[in-house]
Structure 1
Amino acid sequence: MDILEVPLYNKSHFKFLEMGLVWYNRTQRAISGKCEYLHDPRNNVIMEVQLYKMMSNEYRFFPLTFKANECAEYKKNSFGIKTMLSRSSNMDPCNLRGGFLYTVDKMIPDVSTFPPHLPLGSYKLVIRFLFHSDFQAQGDIYLRIVDKPIEWKKLPSLKRPHKGNN
């Protein structure tokens, strides 16, 4: 992940909303942030997810898009979101309440739960959050999918050398 930003949010839904990336260690970045709802959305938050791929020096439509209820996906642990939120946050998307400070502290996405075989390159992930059909917030994540270093591909074989019958 290179950049995480919240370019806009509905101030009639949130008292405040802050999200960003922090360094977890020398090589890994993590998501941190906080927010406070002004009303009780409970489990009525819908996510609209759209992925764009960098091609010809601009982000173009990529055929990975979906719309889902946040609580339903949390219960199914889609993309490992339940595991990640339970480890690093006090947020329960099935019971969101107003007047309560929600925090996310150094949440590291589990890339093993993401779709396999995405082409290498730079991407922009746009997630829009809706309360029924009313806009709440938008998060933009800029990320890169890179190949493993060459050294990782040249790992020694686990096969034992052939032993003679001497």
Structure 2
Amino acid sequence: MVRFNKDYAYYFNTKTFKYNRTSTAFNFTFRYKIDLGNDVQVVVQAFRFASNEYRLFPLRFQVNLCTIFKLSIAGFAEILKCKNFTGCPNHKNREYKICNFAPDESRFPPLIPSGRYMVEASGVYRSNELWVYRGYAEVYLPFNKK
């Protein structure tokens, strides 16, 4: 969590932990001050590590938050199996918990070059920024020699 808009949310808490030896999982807890219908858009921008800094990478897209759950983009439909989070819409003054979420690598875009990446996801509600998350990952593709 980089930042969130305190006009729209009381808090956002994120905890990371090792799910097993190779996977990291996340727990999220949040409470909104407003009712969010289907109006939240998520803007995702990737950056690739090169020359000792993260530089803009040509992977950018915008998608409706509810569509992410419906289409299970990056495995986000698994979030709906958690105790009190049901997807869209989110209601005000209700605490939501997302537990044991681990991204599904098989649902990521194919053919991304090997390297270290930073991915920034911004939640936007009616042209106002709700939150910004930043994640780091490394893509490793083994060479197939024949």
Normalized against structure 1, the TM-score is what? 0.80
Shift of 1:95: 1.1
Runs of 4 or more consecutive aligned structure 1 residues displaced over 3 Å after TM superposition: none
Kept in 1, the 8 Å contact 2:45–2:119? The answer is: yes
The one-letter code matched in structure 2 to 1:78 is: I
- Structure 1 position 91 matched with structure 2 position 85: yes
Unaligned runs of 5+ in 1: 1-5, 155-166
Of 7-16 and 64-73, the range deviating more from structure 2: 64-73
3-state SS in 2 of match to 1:144: strand
Q: Distance in 2 between matches of 1:71 and 1:38?
A: 19
Q: Is the 1:43–1:93 Cα contact (8 Å) retained in structure 2?
A: no
Q: Is there any run of 5+ residues in structure 2 with no aligned partner, and where?
A: none
> 1-side partners of 2:38 and 2:126: how far apart?
10
| Structure 1 residue 89: Cα displacement | 5.7
Distance 1:23 1:79, change over 3 A: closer
| Alignment partner, residue 141 of structure 1 | 135
- Tell me how far apart the structure 2 counterparts of residues 20 and 61 of structure 1 sit (CA, whole Å): 27
Asked if the contact 1:47–1:127 (Cα under 8 Å) also holds between the matched residues in 2, the reply is yes
How many correspondences in the alignment?
145
114-123 or 93-102: bigger deviation: 93-102
Residues 5-154 of structure 1 mapped to structure 2, 5 A cutoff: 6-82=1-77, 84-88=78-82, 90-148=84-142
TM-score normalised per structure 2: 0.90
Aligned-CA RMSD value: 1.9
